[in-house]
Structure 1
Amino acid sequence: MRPFRRHRPAGAAPGSTQVVGTAPAASTAPSAAPAGQPSASTPAAGPSTAGSEQLTGVQHAYLKAADPAKGTITFDLVEWFEGKAAADACKADGVEPAENDWCTGWYIRNNNKKLRTYPVAPGANLRVVGTTGTDLVNADLTKFRATLLQTGRVFVFTVKAGQITKADEVYTP
């Protein structure tokens, strides 16, 4: 059985992410991305309050903190590319392909280090990569935080109504 390299929730297509809110459209609205483009938008720098810019849909990020008592996750949003879009983004960024499909299978761009904190919906499905590296196993917020802070991997998550409803660690070699 071949280990998976990346995980996209069922029904999530690249470019499906949308940013809406009260900030001026020019600073937060992503351009319509064709298939194969990054699956997360990175809004321009600005206030870090969820009220001024509300993410929705599928996102990719690095975990920076999680507070099980408050039920929140703090993250650094990134752009995730796959396939040809990964190769094109690497070329545009002057990054050379490397082992483990870097720039040929996947690529992460992180040009905005702005941190955002969102609540985790009650009953949200949180999963981390299991010990075999080929499966995802359920985790509570404490285990999710500990695992991602240890591995430093990206996670893919879904935001609905201002809450994280699903989050999966993404295996990257």
Structure 2
Amino acid sequence: MALGALMLSAVGVAACGTPTAGSATANPSAAIPSPSPSASASRPSAVVTTLTVTAVTTASAPPATDLTGEQYGFITAVDVAAGTVSLDRIAYFTGADAQKACAEDGVTDTSNNWCTGYYWRNNNPALRTLAVSPDATITVLDGSASVPGSLEKVAQRITQATSTYRLVITDGRVTEMHEMYAP
């Protein structure tokens, strides 16, 4: 949560309840009467000032997204401090759906399980910024094995290789992010 502003307000009230300069009155320019000698004997003339400090906070709203549920794509940037990632979303297919999508796209290369086991299509290279939940489950690859990760590790991984990631988005935030193995 970010600190948006700090508001200070001072209210001065004479011990007798008479507003003092600096406090709100119906006519702030009106002269403040001095207590009479007889009134000062029965009432203290000290001025009491109350200082109220109110911190106004603004929650950083997650970037708006229309994505929900399971999504696939390439992570192109990570902002660890802001807790966001940039996603180049793709359509991801497996099995018979991969074979069908390859046929639709005229792709015939089947090396390394491409088009027979998996296939992805990227018809829209637009990048989307997504907020990552602080409690998100993140895994990265160590060779072909998935190991526990973090946004810092994802930031490091994207400098080393372009990988496909499977994300789960719930209520506008990434709750799962998994680097996927591809032969």
The answer to whether residue 158 in structure 2 is matched with residue 156 in structure 1 is: no
CA contact (8 A) 2:77 2:158 kept: no
Letter in 1 for 2:180: V
Q: Return the letter of the residue paired with 2:93.
A: F
CA apart distance, 1:98: 2.5
Aligned to 1:31: none
Q: Hey, what's the Cα distance between the residues in 2 that align with 1:149 and 1:106?
A: 24
Q: Specify every segment of 5 or more residues in structure 1 that has no aligned partner in the other structure, as ranges.
A: 1-48
Is the CA contact (8 Å cut-off) linking 2:63 and 2:131 kept in structure 1?
Answer: no
Q: Which one has the largest radius of gyration?
A: 2
- Candidates 109, 113, 124, aligned match of 1:97: 109
Q: Secondary structure at the match of 1:100?
A: helix
* Aligned 8 A contact 1:64 1:149 in 2: no
Name the aligned partner's letter for residue 91 of structure 1.
Answer: A
Match of 1:142 among 143, 149, 152: 152
Q: Distance in 1 between matches of 2:159 and 2:139?
A: 14
Q: Which segments of 5 or more consecutive residues in structure 2 lack a partner in the other structure?
A: 1-61
Superposition pairs of residues 1-173 of structure 1, within 5 angstroms: 51=64, 53-131=65-143, 133=144, 135-173=145-183
* Paired-residue identity, %: 36
What SS is found at the alignment partner of 1:54? coil
Once residues 92 and 155 of structure 1 are traced to their aligned partners in structure 2, the CA distance between those partners, rounded to angstroms, is 24
Could you tell me the TM-score, scaled by structure 1's length? 0.67
Q: Deviations over 1:48-87 (max 9, x none)?
A: x954x51110000111101001110001000000111101
Partner Cα distance (2:157, 2:63) in 1? 25
Equivalent pairs counted in the alignment come to 122
Going from structure 1 to structure 2, the CA distance change for 1:55 and 1:117 (only over 3 Å counts) comes to: same
| CA drift at 1:111 | 0.4
TM-superposed deviation, 1:150:
1.8
Q: Please list every run of at least 4 consecutive aligned residues from structure 1 whose deviation after the TM superposition is greater than 4 angstroms.
A: none
| Partner amino acid, structure 2, of 1:106 | Y
Instruction: Give me the whole-angstrom Cα distance separating, in 1, the residues matched to 2:109 and 2:99.
Output: 8
Do 1:158 and 1:164's aligned partners in 2 also have CA atoms closer than 8 Å? yes
One-letter amino acid of the structure 1 residue matched with residue 168 of structure 2 = T
**TM-fit CA distance, 1:149:** 3.7
TM-score between the two structures when normalised by the length of structure 2 = 0.63
Q: Is the 8 A contact 1:63 1:149 kept in 2?
A: no
